[in-house]
Amino acid sequence: MKRLMDIAGGIVGLVLFLPLLLGIALAVRLESAGPALHWSKRVGRGNRIFLMPKFRTMRLGTPDVATHLLADPGQWVTPVGRFLRRTSLDELPQFWSVLIGHMSLVGPRPALFNQDDLVALRTEAGVHTLRPGVTGWAQVNGRDELPIPEKVRLDREYLERRSLAFDLAIIARTVAAAFSGRGVSH
């Protein structure tokens, strides 16, 4: 049932947001040199690496690490990128990853390929068995503000509580969080 919801959600998301996707792609390209999409190496289900699309919010040449690990993240984020991050619009291309099965609408946010500490804790907690999500329980409970052990605790809670009703509640909270920009540090 969850995979059917993901396929339907991926199709609806891509079709519904197509004009917005095209507009954002144009804005990113007009603002700075480089492609509109950034294909980020992420850790998926079973700790397999996959490429996840996001609208590019950083300048070309930015080190490929989590934003909070950059000495001065503000120097790398573009003005359009700042808006996209605050509103989570940079995540919209991930409907493609949902459609092709690399991601789910709801699950733990995919770790960067080099976030070994997060990957190890998730593996220990059994969370690595889940397909990563565009949004998730940890995401709606703090996003960038949460320390890694707390993210893993919430991811484990999601693993134990997952259901269609819980997924729908998380999606509703995601929409509210996206409009408020709450929990985004960069």
pLDDT in tens, 92-118: 999 999 999 999 999 999 999 989 999
Q: pTM of the entire structure?
A: 0.87
Taking CA atoms, 106 is separated from 49, 64, 114, in Å, by 18, 25, 22
Quickly state the pLDDT bin for 182 (edges 50, 70, 90).
low
What domain count does the chain have?
Answer: 1
Contact 132, 108 (CB under 8 A): yes
- The answer to whether residue 186 is domain-embedded is no
Contact 132, 112 (CB under 8 A): no
Please compute the mean of the pLDDT values over residues 65-85 and round it to a whole number: 82
For residue 33, the 8-state DSSP code is: S
- The answer to whether residue 107 is domain-embedded is yes
pLDDT in tens, 3-44: 999 999 999 999 999 999 999 999 999 998 899 999 999 999
Q: In what order do the strands lie in the sheet with 49-55?
A: 49-55, 37-43, 111-112
- The answer to whether residue 185 is domain-embedded is no
Cα dihedral across residues 82, 83, 86, 91: positive or negative: negative
Shortest CA distance to 78 belongs to which of 113, 96, 54? 54
Range of the domain at 58: 2-180
- The answer to whether residue 135 is domain-embedded is yes
- The answer to whether residue 71 is domain-embedded is yes
Cα dihedral across residues 54, 60, 64, 68: positive or negative: negative
